Chains A and B, each alone.
Chain A
Amino acid sequence: NAGVMQNPRHLVRRRGQEARLRCSPMKGHSHVYWYRQLPEEGLKFMVYLQKENIIDESGMPKERFSAEFPKEGPSILRIQQVVRGDSAAYFCASSPREGGPLGTDTQYFGPGTRLTVL
Chain B
Amino acid sequence: AQSVTQPDIHITVSEGASLELRCNYSYGATPYLFWYVQSPGQGLQLLLKYFSGDTLVQGIKGFEAEFKRSQSSFNLRKPSVHWSDAAEYFCAVGMFSGGYNKLIFGAGTRLAVHP
Residues of A within 8 A of B (CB): 4, 6, 31, 33, 35, 40-45, 48, 55-56, 59, 91, 93, 95, 101-112
Given known A-B contacts A42-B107, A43-B105, A45-B103, A56 and B98 have beta carbons under 8 A apart:
yes
Interface of B is mostly: strand
Is residue B32 contacting chain A, with contact meaning CB distance below 8 A?
yes
Minimum distance in angstroms from B65 CB to a CB of chain A: 15
Interface size class of B (residues with CB under 8 A): 20 to 34
Q: In the complex, which of the residues A6, A45, A103 contacts B32, with contact meaning CB atoms closer than 8 Å?
A: A103
Which residue of the partner chain A has the closest CB to B45?
A109
Is B56 part of the binding interface, using a Cβ–Cβ cutoff of 8 Å? no
**A56 engages B100 (CB within 8 Å):** yes
A109 and B49 contact, Cβ closer than 8 Å, known pairs A43-B103, A55-B100, A103-B96: no
